[in-house]
Amino acid sequence: MHDDKTIGMIGTGIMGGPMARRLARAGWRVKAWNRSRDKAAALCEVGNVTLADSPVEAAEDTAAVIVMLSSGPVCDEVLLGEAGALAAMRPGSTLIVMSSIPVETARTQAEAARQCGVSYLDAPVSGGERGAIDGTLAIMAGGEAAAFEQAEPLLAELGRPVHVGPAGSGQLAKLANQMIVANSIATVSEALLLAERGGADPARVREALQGGFADSTILRVHGQRMIEGDYAPGGPAKWQLKDTQTAMALAEQLSLELPVSQLVNRLFHDHVAHGDGELDHSALIRELRRLNRLPVE
């Protein structure tokens, strides 16, 4: 990276906002842009944050640009083309796309960055809003080893970065993560419904399972959400569906049959189709209640 500590932050929503705050508080100068300007404006109270009027302005004269947008097409729209943010980045700087995007999209972006003399990392994250606030995100980075080494001090402010391979590998790791998360949410939902329907107290069952082989972050955190009916979005179900659909499309390209993940993908599809896409992904238990003709709280 360059000697200066100026970072462009493109996308300051549920994840990008807390990430920008952490970087600013750690001493990085952050130029923030968000399509909804009010979300970026809220960062100014932190100090070390200035608002950019466009992605191009956020990208100019920076050591690195972090992108945390909703999808591959949105990232491409903002980054690529003559009027895109990538063209405004100075040679030798680093583009870090932390959105969850298709593997091929990451590889295409990496090649576009190379042609501009810009290093590239696809570095999606896991840990949700809480992880972004606390700086405990799991960060899966794909790209050249030298680019990762340069960006590691910056990424370490946000969580635990691990270099997993060439460009696109970060997205492969994230898809693996999202498959595990989605399938675990479905299984915990089924287990709690079984306990409830059989006459046990789901809250006590969840407590009893902790520390055993069935224990997991999903059981502890999302199991509690399911029991309390607290579905304020940390990770909206619509984005979980986007990731499971991407994983299933890649599996088809690779001639892989993944029956459990295919079933869970269909459950999330129906869940979102029934109007729950803005709820946290732990709300999948509502779809299983519908499936079993049980009251949906």
Q: Contacts by 110-118 with C-beta closer than 8 Å and gap 24+? A: 110/143, 110/167, 110/168, 112/79, 112/80, 112/86, 113/86, 116/86, 116/87, 116/89, 116/91, 117/91, 117/92, 118/86, 118/89, 118/91, 118/92, 118/93, 118/94
| DSSP state letters, 127-180 | SHHHHHHHT-EEEEEEE-HHHHHHHHHHHHTTEEEEEEESTTHHHHHHHHHHHH
Locus of tokens 């980075």:
141
Cβ neighbours around 217 below 10 Å, total: 13
Instruction: For residues 75 and 63, give the distance between their C-alpha atoms in angstroms, rounded to a whole number.
Output: 19
Among residues 93, 147, 90, 88, the alpha carbon closest in space to that of 123 is found at: 147
Instruction: For residues 276 and 255, give the distance between their C-alpha atoms in angstroms, rounded to a whole number.
Output: 31
Catalytic residue among 5, 31, 39, 174: 174
Known active-site residue 174: yes
Cβ neighbours around 96 below 10 Å, total: 27
Cβ neighbours around 64 below 10 Å, total: 26
Q: Who contacts 106 (Cβ-Cβ below 8 Å, separation ≥6)?
A: 97, 122, 142, 167, 168, 170, 171
Residues marked active site are found at 174
